[in-house]
Chain A
Amino acid sequence: MIKNIFKKNSKYSLLTIVIMIILIGYTVSLIYPLLWGFITSFKGTLDYISNPIGLPQKLAFENYMTAYQYFYLTVENGANTEYIYIEEMIMNSLLYSVGGAFFATFTAAITAYATARFKYAFSKVVYWIVIVTMILPIVGNLPSEIQVTKALGLYDSIFGLFVLKANFLGLYYLVFYAMFKAIPKDYEDAAKIDGASNFQIFFRIMLPMAKKIFFTIMLIQFITFWNDYQTPLLYLPTKPTLAVGLFNYSTSTINAISSTPVKLAGALMVFIPIFIVFIFTQKRLMGGMQMGGLKE
């Protein structure tokens, strides 16, 4: 590779070499703390105090056991104090993330389909609503959103969050729009000749054609919702998700989990599953993000 840099007409220039050095620096700056965090999570209390940056003298798996044991939240539910443990938080997270991702993606998809394939004036209106709302900032409408959510009886309900998140605004609408717009009309025409209804055309022909993009966007949304702690913290007071549990865990003053290694064990306990998902889906995930580049 070094030879290539100095070859004539090499694609390496001063600019790209500088960028490479910065990227190497960035990689080290990211990987090293993650590795340090991982290693530290296996240290005992004294081991960490005496040796904060070296390797553990003895692997303290019990940190993860402690983290697992203390990874809980209490919610007051009428007459009882309910203890919400990690398994229930995982279920809440799965429900919120999968359901939220599905409804958000599906809403964007059907809206994009309708407006891309049906040339009503309203379709243009919807399109421009998306464009305008993307650039029009609305600051501080959270108080109002909470009020409206409570008034509609959607507060403290995972289903309520599905409704809240199922909007067509944003980038993913445009991605679906471009995709559906590009499909030739012939598919529809042929299906209609065979007597297919609009619903059948959508669900059996169009949506399957968008399958790859659909699942990619859903995956991206899934990860976003999985990691989101602020929305469930506000809207799901009695149904904490894993992200909320982690927030509570990381700020907890309970003695057993107040030391650094145990705090890191809890954080990594949540990180590992999503990292596994990432490893096995990274091509699709990152490939999907790349398609979002906009053209005028």
Chain B
Amino acid sequence: MKKIGLFMIMLLTILTLAACNIDRIGEDEDADLGKTQLYIGNFDGGYGDEWLEKVKVRFEEKYKDVSFEEGKKGVQVIIRNSKNFVGVTLQNEIQGLQQDVFFTESVYYYDFVNQGLLLDISDVVEQPLNYEFIDGVENTETETLSIEDKMRQGHIDFLKTPDEAYYGLPFYEANYALIYDVDLFEDELLYFAKDGLGNSFGFITDLEMERSPGPDGDPETIYDNGLPATYEDFFKLADYMVRKNIVPITWAGNVQNYVSSLLTSFWTDFEGREQMMLNYTFDGTAENIVTGFNGDTPVVEAKEITTENGYLTYGNQLGRYHALSFLEQLLANPSYYNSSLVFSPAQTHRDAQDSFLSGKYLSNNDTIGMLIDGTWWQNESGNVFDALEQAYGSDASKENRRFAVMPIPKVDENHLGEYTVYEANFSMAFVNANIDEWKQPLAKAFMQFVHTNESLVEFTKTTNTFRPFEYEMEQNDIDELTPWGQSLYHLHENASYVTPYAYNEVYLKNISTYANELDIWNALVNGDSIYNIPSTAMFNDDVTAKAYFDGLQRFWNKTYWEDRI
């Protein structure tokens, strides 16, 4: 025993000595007393801070000769990353924080605004980008558009307050998606062939063969050609993959709400932007309200939606039923996924990414075709890309391996059309209202700087994701993106986006429910049990799609709604 003890002491000593040289996470760079500090708070999540570090360098360079305080010249941008810079935690603490500008998520915007926590940045949003906030500085920016010109209408409608002021801007554009391995699809010829071509299963037999038009039904949009257009196609693809010993899909076992969020993406894509927005605006005609079933076929009616009956879209919208049906069919076939991983509480989102990325190279591991994750996933999986590159060469690197978003398949051939994306996570950028008045122009200049075309393009090239603004990327910029980033470019350019926000009392009072990936799927199933994770309900408790959908209607009812309006 004592020998074991001595061995442990030795091990501990070695590890302690080795730890002496380790850089600590989170320690701010030392403040340069000869400069003015601008403090940035960045949510420590999937987007990292590399993009901010690049902005810092250029911003500091731009204002290096400007004096903001007596006796000082230039600005020093100090970035702090914290998991606490998020949502309600940030809301409770922001007044006491040192940070001037924040990039964060899970923000209930009007809660912040109504408590006076955010600085009015209307001038930042509405002035052209070549407007200079700092006196005495000649702005060399050539962009004449304003930030508002580049925003989505959904964001403008929500973020512009009734008294016509802006207090925040959207931070990142993210959604939950099906991510597929393009290299694998090409190696194994997993694309649908154009009608009349292909093998007996309907798939291409070589890469030159013409492919089917994909979910949008348009052969001109190449990025989705050959991908499953309908649910039926998707499961044909899954069966075909199983025949080839490929596990079609995987996800994180301990984050089942990724699957729930994917269902929300399915729901959104089915309904389309206008119909989906009824879930937030409660103002319009819902075309797809399920009022009953004729056997297995939902009976659908149009209903006027107001704040009094907003529960109807949550409980009865057809898109939800279709999404649940898709999931039911997916889970019904155990060969579509590895159940020991996708329902394991020990499998994290990183484990799922690791399995997805490494299956191709490791002979005793599953080759996996698709991953359910957020569109920021590649930023999170840097470590395993590095390990794969080290072990298998540059073809295995993040820059060279090809992944893409699989547009959500449509419920059937009658519904082919554009891809509608549900924008997730309620991300936001804003300025702390407690900032000193003399520093406000500097913070505004920074906010403006981050939204120039150059900065937006740099963000995308660094993170391989997009911000929800219109911005121009040259072909060489696009070529610098990883294949995944290029796939997101197609999405950014071609898809219709649902911004799940609205300015009305009912929405604002209940925003925490609409923003919650779990609560949005609350259903009363098996008597009075509240379920909010469809995947585990179906897998563990054999709840059918119809039963879950019925449960949605039982939960989202008039009584429940009346308590909330």
Direct touch of chains A and B (CB < 8 A): yes
Which residue of chain B has the shortest Cβ distance to A72 in the bound complex?
B25
The answer to whether B5 touches A81 (Cβ under 8 A) is no
The answer to whether B25 touches A258 (Cβ under 8 A) is no
- Cα of A295 to Cα of B380 in the assembled complex, Å: 59
- Cα of A64 to Cα of B388 in the assembled complex, Å: 21
Most interface-central of B1, B11, B19 (chain A CB within 10 A): B19
The answer to whether A64 touches B15 (Cβ under 8 A) is yes
Is B22 located at the chain interface by the 8 A CB criterion? yes
The answer to whether A76 touches B84 (Cβ under 8 A) is yes
Interface of A is mostly: helix
User: Which B273-294 residues have a C-beta within 8 angstroms of A?
Assistant: none
Contacts of A72 in B (CB 8 A): 24-26
The answer to whether B80 touches A81 (Cβ under 8 A) is yes
The answer to whether A276 touches B5 (Cβ under 8 A) is yes
User: Which A73-99 residues have a C-beta within 8 angstroms of B?
Assistant: 74, 76, 78-81, 83, 85
Contacts of B388 in A (CB 8 A): 46
Is A138 located at the chain interface by the 8 A CB criterion? no
User: Which A248-283 residues have a C-beta within 8 angstroms of B?
Assistant: 253-256, 258-260, 269, 272-273, 275-276, 279-280, 282
Contacts of B30 in A (CB 8 A): none
The answer to whether B96 touches A255 (Cβ under 8 A) is no
Given A74-B83, A276-B9, A279-B4 in contact, is the A49-B22 Cβ separation under 8 Å? no
Contacts of B85 in A (CB 8 A): 81
Stretch at the interface among B230-238, B241-249, B299-307, B350-358: B350-358
The answer to whether B1 touches A282 (Cβ under 8 A) is yes
Rounded to whole Å, the gap between the CB of B83 and the closest CB of chain A is 6
The answer to whether B98 touches A70 (Cβ under 8 A) is no
Given A79-B96, A258-B350 in contact, is the A69-B15 Cβ separation under 8 Å? no
Given A45-B387, A50-B364, A276-B8 in contact, is the A69-B25 Cβ separation under 8 Å? yes
User: Which A37-82 residues have a C-beta within 8 angstroms of B?
Assistant: 44-46, 49-50, 61, 64-65, 68-70, 72, 74, 76, 78-81
- Cα of A98 to Cα of B354 in the assembled complex, Å: 42
Most interface-central of B18, B348, B362 (chain A CB within 10 A): B348
The answer to whether B23 touches A69 (Cβ under 8 A) is yes
Contacts of A280 in B (CB 8 A): 2, 5
Is B335 located at the chain interface by the 8 A CB criterion? no
Is B27 located at the chain interface by the 8 A CB criterion? yes
Interface string of A98-114 (1 = CB under 8 A from B): 00000000000000000
Given A80-B98, A255-B381 in contact, is the A279-B82 Cβ separation under 8 Å? no
Contacts of B1 in A (CB 8 A): 279, 282
Contacts of A83 in B (CB 8 A): 24-27
Contacts of B387 in A (CB 8 A): 44-46
- Cα of A82 to Cα of B4 in the assembled complex, Å: 37
Contacts of B351 in A (CB 8 A): 258-260
- Cα of A269 to Cα of B346 in the assembled complex, Å: 20
Range of interface residues on A (Cβ < 8 Å): 35 or more
Most interface-central of A44, A76, A78, A273 (chain B CB within 10 A): A76
Residues of B in contact (CB 8 Å), total 48
The answer to whether B82 touches A49 (Cβ under 8 A) is no
Contacts of A279 in B (CB 8 A): 1-2, 4-5, 8
- Cα of A275 to Cα of B11 in the assembled complex, Å: 12
- Cα of A81 to Cα of B80 in the assembled complex, Å: 9
The answer to whether A255 touches B25 (Cβ under 8 A) is no
The answer to whether A255 touches B350 (Cβ under 8 A) is yes
- Cα of A275 to Cα of B26 in the assembled complex, Å: 30
- Cα of A13 to Cα of B265 in the assembled complex, Å: 66
Given A49-B365, A79-B98, A81-B82 in contact, is the A258-B12 Cβ separation under 8 Å? no
The answer to whether A85 touches B12 (Cβ under 8 A) is no
Which residue of chain B has the shortest Cβ distance to A77 in the bound complex?
B96
Contacts of B82 in A (CB 8 A): 74, 81
The answer to whether A49 touches B358 (Cβ under 8 A) is yes
Q: Which of A44, A65, A79, A259 contacts B97 (CB 8 A)?
A: A79
Interface string of B354-380 (1 = CB under 8 A from A): 110010011011000000000000001
Most interface-central of A44, A259, A273 (chain B CB within 10 A): A259
The answer to whether A76 touches B27 (Cβ under 8 A) is no
Contacts of B80 in A (CB 8 A): 81
Contacts of B23 in A (CB 8 A): 69
Is B33 located at the chain interface by the 8 A CB criterion? no
Which residue of chain B has the shortest Cβ distance to A252 in the bound complex?
B83
Which residue of chain A has the shortest Cβ distance to B388 in the bound complex?
A46
Q: Which of B2, B18, B350 contacts A65 (CB 8 A)?
A: B18
Is B349 located at the chain interface by the 8 A CB criterion? yes
- Cα of A124 to Cα of B26 in the assembled complex, Å: 56
The answer to whether B44 touches A68 (Cβ under 8 A) is no
- Cα of A256 to Cα of B381 in the assembled complex, Å: 9
- Cα of A50 to Cα of B365 in the assembled complex, Å: 6
Most interface-central of B9, B26, B355, B365 (chain A CB within 10 A): B26
Rounded to whole Å, the gap between the CB of B264 and the closest CB of chain A is 20
User: Which B313-364 residues have a C-beta within 8 angstroms of A?
Assistant: 346, 348-351, 354-355, 358, 361-362, 364
Which residue of chain A has the shortest Cβ distance to B355 in the bound complex?
A49
The answer to whether A69 touches B24 (Cβ under 8 A) is yes
- Cα of A44 to Cα of B383 in the assembled complex, Å: 10
Contacts of B89 in A (CB 8 A): 76
Rounded to whole Å, the gap between the CB of B159 and the closest CB of chain A is 26
Given A46-B391, A255-B350, A258-B350 in contact, is the A275-B8 Cβ separation under 8 Å? yes
- Cα of A233 to Cα of B409 in the assembled complex, Å: 45
Which residue of chain A has the shortest Cβ distance to B22 in the bound complex?
A69
The answer to whether A260 touches B381 (Cβ under 8 A) is no
Contacts of B362 in A (CB 8 A): 46, 49-50
Is B384 located at the chain interface by the 8 A CB criterion? yes
Is B154 located at the chain interface by the 8 A CB criterion? no
Rounded to whole Å, the gap between the CB of B386 and the closest CB of chain A is 9
Given A72-B26, A259-B350, A276-B8 in contact, is the A50-B358 Cβ separation under 8 Å? yes
Contacts of A74 in B (CB 8 A): 26, 82-84
The answer to whether B19 touches A65 (Cβ under 8 A) is yes
Given A45-B383, A83-B26 in contact, is the A76-B354 Cβ separation under 8 Å? no
Contacts of B97 in A (CB 8 A): 76, 79-81
Is B382 located at the chain interface by the 8 A CB criterion? yes
The answer to whether A45 touches B24 (Cβ under 8 A) is no
- Cα of A83 to Cα of B27 in the assembled complex, Å: 8
Which residue of chain B has the shortest Cβ distance to A248 in the bound complex?
B83
Rounded to whole Å, the gap between the CB of B65 and the closest CB of chain A is 30
Contacts of B44 in A (CB 8 A): 254
Rounded to whole Å, the gap between the CB of A66 and the closest CB of chain B is 9
Rounded to whole Å, the gap between the CB of A49 and the closest CB of chain B is 5
Contacts of A64 in B (CB 8 A): 15, 18-19
- Cα of A76 to Cα of B94 in the assembled complex, Å: 10
- Cα of A256 to Cα of B350 in the assembled complex, Å: 9
Is B143 located at the chain interface by the 8 A CB criterion? no
Contacts of B355 in A (CB 8 A): 49
- Cα of A83 to Cα of B24 in the assembled complex, Å: 10
Is B61 located at the chain interface by the 8 A CB criterion? no
- Cα of A256 to Cα of B25 in the assembled complex, Å: 12
The 4 nearest A-B residue pairs measured at CB: A258-B350, A279-B5, A83-B26, A50-B362
Q: What are 21 of the A-B contact pairs (CB < 8 Å)? A: A46-B384, A50-B364, A61-B15, A65-B18, A68-B19, A69-B24, A72-B24, A74-B26, A74-B84, A76-B96, A76-B97, A80-B98, A81-B84, A83-B24, A85-B24, A254-B44, A255-B380, A255-B382, A260-B351, A275-B8, A280-B2
Given A255-B350, A256-B383, output 6 extra A-B contacts at Cβ < 8 Å.
Answer: A50-B365, A76-B96, A253-B349, A254-B83, A255-B382, A275-B5
